[in-house]
Structure 1
Amino acid sequence: MSGGVRGFGGGRAAGALSAAVRRRPGLLLGRRARLRWVHLVLGGALLMPYFLLTDVVVGAAAGGVNALASLPLTLLSYAASLPLVALTGLFGLVRPLSATAARTMAAVPGDRLADGPARSWAARRRASAWWTLHLGIGAVVSGMSLAVPPMGVVLIVMPFSGALRASASGTAWFSEEAEPYLSPLTGVVLLAALAAVCAGAGALLARLAPVLLGPTAEDRLAAAEERAADLAVRNRLARELHDAVGHALSAVTLQAGAARRVLDSDPAFVREALAAIEETTRRTVGELDAVLGLLRDGDPARADAMPAPTLAGDLDGLLARTRAGGTVLTVEQDPGPAGDWAQLPAIASREAYRIVQEGLSNALRHGAGPVSLLIRVHTSDGSRELEITMTNPPAQAPPAHDGGGARSRGGRGLRGAAERAALLGGRVEAGPLGEDWRLRAVLPLGTPAPGSGGGR
């Protein structure tokens, strides 16, 4: 019997392969295995430009011969193409392209692969290693996929074709002494071996993908910073929504109740209250629409550009609408040497307005009696500070201060005010003071300009 037929027609190897296929048919022929096969063939196709380039160079170096006509020169061209593949794999966009292909065709879980381009050199080197393995192994699998199936089919049909037997007689694949049934068995073994090699290579790349294409420490840090920035924007929008809508509801409720009580006796006050309700709701609808638009768009960059009320342009209207509900409000304003709230930094003016708004909302919901408000700029330890102090008698005996400045279990507004002050490096204190409730916020404004006098 021919040695070639003996080598490819071993009964024990064929039995082992057929048993494995019977036990796990999807392992070699399932959808995942087929997709990984296509993934490998795609890698082989991507290697072809590199291979053709090095083939020309190797052929010219060998004396102008055709390198494809010689197996050693072909292998040399293949080996010479891999360094070029590794070099191009250092480009940052290679990683997201490879990750997308691995996620789609190699059945690698998406959460284990990085999304963006490789930025650090460590990530680029890992992506280059994956790129080289994918294209290098894919080229071998592609060559086997082109050569083995025709060979296997010929061996399977050879006993049934006299012309094939005559053409193959005396070769390593067939001999006149070989039993006819061994040739089809050899073809089946070849095809099964090809499927096993492709499945094994695909599984190997799938296992290496999270290692080589997964996020690095820098990627995780960047993702954490992005999530933190997104959370900060969402928290800011939540504060804006709470302060605007919460204050509007409190003011409108108080104004409507006061108007109902004096509906017959003081029509002028009722008209003033209704006008304040109209103005409050109109402004609140506009702010609500802006916040909801940002939430729908999901663009954090637009949050900073969102128009917001400030002390300079909107404080007087806020105080007027609060008084329109019948609340006795005493206000003392001292902008300091600047003499105008418009001279404040924009972000400090914006956050201070919201803190005043939240304090008034808190007083309307939980207080009883007149409200005293002090807003002033003064100098402390060589630095200018904006101080906001609001006091009013509570509707009931205030509970012991819990450290969060909340009069109730919620306290979202006061926590939001504390967050606003903390963003500027300031602080908020809220709690009982004698028989009153006091809210005090301090926002740093920086060092006073030379010659400004420093303020009170």
Structure 2
Amino acid sequence: MPYWLLGTLVVSPFVDGAGMFSASPVVQFGAYGVALPLAAVTALFPLARPMSVAAARTLCGVPAERFADGPARSRAARARTAGWFTLHVGMGGLVSGASLALPPFAVTLMVVPFSATLRESAVAEFWSLDQRWLVYGGVPAGLAMLVALAAAAAGAGALLARQAPLLLGPTPADRLAAAERRAAELAVRNRLARELHDSVGHALSAVTLQAGAARKVLDSDPGFVREALAGIEETTRRTVGELDAVLGLLRQGEDDGELPGRPGLEALDALLAATGRHVSLTVEGGGVAGVPEPVSREAYRIVQEGLTNAARHAAGEPVSVTVVRYEDELEITMENPLPARPPVARPGGGLGLRGVGERARLLGGTAGARPVDGVWRLTARLPLGEAAR
């Protein structure tokens, strides 16, 4: 309606003797012709698409998943939105105009055969209802008009419902942006899952091992029991801090960058001391000082997962950890003797080694684990990049 009113303001001055609300077909259809471009220009604004999507979902009953999310950003998306909005306004204007004019006229046609007064009135003369055939055909003609109006309204609705997903659906750019958002969300979830698995899983394995060893010597070696309990206390305290950091990000519902409080290679000695088992550490190539923080943090988690894996599958066996720093990469090698009996497979197991591989690949490196000459060997190579040279 606002577009049509603006159209009458534009058209009426060019028609002799026609006012703004003139019944002249020239004014009516001229205003309609002016209103459509105005509607198209209005729909070029980005926020027109969310409003059009809401209207299409409500009026046409189209499922929400067939529409694009958010404002139209690209030129193609705005053009498609303008096309649907213009079609909506144009079809709506025709159907609403016909709905205002046709029902009174059709009812009058159906009443004409039964009212001689109406056939002789000024209304009949104005609408040319004084014709003889209307005495017999007024009722069928009126009914036909009403049926045609209902069919036209239904057809317009079907056309809009069919075109809405095509014109308001996601463009290739929208699909790409949605895929990137989903990939980013999945990457954040996977990273948080790795952190929880590695930190909590290692802590539980270490605590279980230390508690089991302390129980066996509870009466004969109180000093060892005190050391085991102190190790359990330190492990749980450190793990609670890491867990709080991860859960803090989950509560915020977004990725705010690096997880705070994540240990790096400088904390390896404390990690090995808290395992409660025989672990030897060898560092070659100048030490771990100056290793870039992302590499240092991921290397720490890889060693942590290797120790957890050894505790689960080769309990009581010694573990050797070798960290070699080359000019352009950091190499981590962990070995422990294979157990006499193969370990029992756990339902859902294998996530730790998969996480090791994911951590290495995120840095552009490689990782793998396999039995070699009677030992289980885990090897990871992490690029250092320019910052570490």
**Please, what TM-score do these two structures have when normalized by structure 2?**
0.88
Of 434, 443, 446, the match for 2:382: 443
Structure-2 separation of matches of 1:85 and 1:250: 67
Task: Determine the structure 2 residue equivalent to 1:420.
Answer: 359
Structure-1 separation of matches of 2:199 and 2:82: 52
- Do the aligned residues in 1 keep the contact of 2:113 with 2:138 (CA within 8 Å)? yes
CA drift at 1:178: 5.5
| DSSP 3-state at the match of 1:68 | coil
Q: Summarize the Cα distance change of 1:409–1:144 in structure 2 as closer, same or farther, 3 Å threshold.
A: closer
Task: Determine the structure 1 residue equivalent to 2:13.
Answer: 60
Task: Determine the structure 1 residue equivalent to 2:300.
Answer: 353
- Do the aligned residues in 1 keep the contact of 2:50 with 2:70 (CA within 8 Å)? yes
| DSSP 3-state at the match of 2:46 | coil
Give the partner amino acid of 2:202: H
Give the partner amino acid of 2:280: T
The equivalences for 1:142-221 within 5 A come to 142-156=96-110, 164-167=118-121, 168-170=123-125, 172=127, 174-175=129-130, 177=132, 182-221=137-176
Q: Deviations over 1:346-402 (max 9, x none)?
A: 2212211111110110111112422111223222xxxx2122121111223679xxx
Give the partner amino acid of 2:269: D
- Do the aligned residues in 2 keep the contact of 1:310 with 1:351 (CA within 8 Å)? no
Sequence identity of aligned pairs in percent? Answer: 58
Q: Deviations over 1:299-332 (max 9, x none)?
A: 2x23x3432522256433322211xx2x011112
Structure-2 separation of matches of 1:146 and 1:276: 85
Of 125-134 and 76-85, the range deviating more from structure 2: 76-85
- Higher RCO (C-alpha 8 Å, min separation 6): 1
Task: Determine the structure 2 residue equivalent to 1:332.
Answer: 282
Task: Determine the structure 1 residue equivalent to 2:202.
Answer: 247
Structure-2 separation of matches of 1:314 and 1:228: 32
Of 102, 106, 110, the match for 2:56: 102
The equivalences for 1:282-431 within 5 A come to 282-295=237-250, 297-299=252-254, 301-302=255-256, 304-311=257-264, 314-322=267-275, 325=276, 327-334=277-284, 336=286, 341=289, 343-367=290-314, 368-379=316-327, 384-396=328-340, 410-431=349-370
CA drift at 1:81: 2.1
Structure-1 separation of matches of 2:102 and 2:230: 87
Of 75, 80, 92, the match for 2:29: 75
1:117 aligns with 2:117: no
**Please, what TM-score do these two structures have when normalized by structure 1?**
0.76
Q: Summarize the Cα distance change of 1:81–1:377 in structure 2 as closer, same or farther, 3 Å threshold.
A: same
Give the partner amino acid of 2:38: L
User: Size of the alignment, in residue pairs?
Assistant: 385
Structure-2 separation of matches of 1:156 and 1:344: 92
CA drift at 1:133: 0.6
Q: Summarize the Cα distance change of 1:226–1:169 in structure 2 as closer, same or farther, 3 Å threshold.
A: closer
Task: Determine the structure 2 residue equivalent to 1:17.
Answer: none
Give the partner amino acid of 1:213: L
Q: Summarize the Cα distance change of 1:193–1:390 in structure 2 as closer, same or farther, 3 Å threshold.
A: same
CA RMSD of aligned residues (A): 2.9
Structure-2 separation of matches of 1:314 and 1:124: 54
- Do the aligned residues in 2 keep the contact of 1:129 with 1:212 (CA within 8 Å)? yes
CA drift at 1:410: 3.0
- Do the aligned residues in 1 keep the contact of 2:368 with 2:379 (CA within 8 Å)? yes
CA drift at 1:200: 0.5
Of 358, 371, 384, the match for 1:432: 371
- Do the aligned residues in 2 keep the contact of 1:174 with 1:183 (CA within 8 Å)? no
Of 283-292 and 178-187, the range deviating more from structure 2: 178-187
Structure-2 separation of matches of 1:409 and 1:75: 70
Q: Deviations over 1:204-228 (max 9, x none)?
A: 1111112111212222222222222
Q: Summarize the Cα distance change of 1:260–1:144 in structure 2 as closer, same or farther, 3 Å threshold.
A: same
- Do the aligned residues in 2 keep the contact of 1:398 with 1:432 (CA within 8 Å)? no
Task: Determine the structure 1 residue equivalent to 2:4.
Answer: 51
- Do the aligned residues in 1 keep the contact of 2:109 with 2:138 (CA within 8 Å)? yes
| DSSP 3-state at the match of 1:333 | strand
Structure-1 separation of matches of 2:381 and 2:246: 27
Unaligned runs of 5+ in 2: none
Structure-2 separation of matches of 1:188 and 1:64: 36
- Do the aligned residues in 1 keep the contact of 2:113 with 2:134 (CA within 8 Å)? no
Q: Deviations over 1:160-189 (max 9, x none)?
A: 667645424445553374576754444333
